[in-house]
């Protein structure tokens, strides 16, 4: 039986992977592109996007689509959850407790379903945003979830927090 041919590892793909793996900030494609241009000035944004998608399809990185914001990328494939700041968009890793999948599956009792994994996104305000909120709900939670709303457009344009 033949094994499926693995995609060729290009210099661009290796660079994109190295950039994502070098940070814990869960970067956006634009952030990765800016860093890639420093090392390889002729690389295009399209090449960065294609390589991020290929790396994710190959299981080398993970895409994070937190609260409808711009896709962020994570090279840490260990079992963990994420905290998402609704004020600034910061995403931080949260350790996943040992045995959590089994406990959750046992507690849900969904007849006819087999739970193999789950994802948990903790949502709130980071240390920097909490004091500024003054008890108000954050702009992401309060915004309309409709794609066409002005606030949804503003949220999609936001930049990730620095690492």
DSSP code string of 7-23:
PP--HHHHHHHHHHHT-
Q: Does the pLDDT value for residue 76 go beyond 80?
A: yes
The verdict on pTM exceeding 0.75 is: no
Task: State the average pLDDT over residues 97-118.
Answer: 78
Q: Which range has the top average pLDDT, 48-62, 68-82, 116-130, 131-145?
A: 48-62
Pairing of strands 121-124, 62-64: unpaired
Of residues 104 and 87, the one with the higher pLDDT is: 87
Spatial separation of the C-alpha atoms in residues 64 and 153, rounded to whole Å? 19
What is the CATH number assigned to the segment(s) 11-156?
1.10.10.10
Task: State the average pLDDT over residues 18-45.
Answer: 96
Task: State the average pLDDT over residues 68-84.
Answer: 89
Task: State the average pLDDT over residues 63-81.
Answer: 87
**Domain ranges within the chain, ordered by starting residue:** 11-156
pLDDT 10s digits, 34-62: 999 999 999 999 999 999 999 999 999 99
pLDDT of residue 96: 86
Task: State the average pLDDT over residues 6-22.
Answer: 92
pLDDT of residue 86: 87
Helix (H) or strand (E) holding 140: helix 139-142
């Amino acid at each position: 039986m033949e094994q499926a041919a693995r995609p060729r590892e290009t210099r661009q793909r290796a660079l994109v992977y190295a950039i994502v793996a070098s940070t814990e900030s869960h970067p956006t494609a634009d952030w990765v592109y800016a860093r890639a241009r420093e090392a390889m000035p002729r690389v295009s944004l399209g090449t960065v996007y294609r390589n991020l998608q290929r790396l994710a399809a190959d299981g080398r990185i993970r895409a994070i689509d937190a609260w409808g914001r711009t896709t962020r990328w994570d090279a840490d494939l260990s079992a963990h959850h994420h905290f998402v700041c609704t004020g600034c968009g910061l995403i931080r890793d949260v350790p996943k407790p040992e045995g959590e999948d089994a406990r959750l599956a046992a507690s849900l009792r969904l007849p006819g379903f087999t739970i193999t994994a789950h994802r948990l996104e903790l949502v709130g305000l980071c240390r920097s945003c909490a004091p500024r909120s003054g008890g108000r709900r954050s702009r992401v939670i309060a915004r309309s979830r409709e794609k066409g709303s002005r606030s949804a457009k503003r949220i999609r344009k936001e930049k990730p927090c620095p690492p």
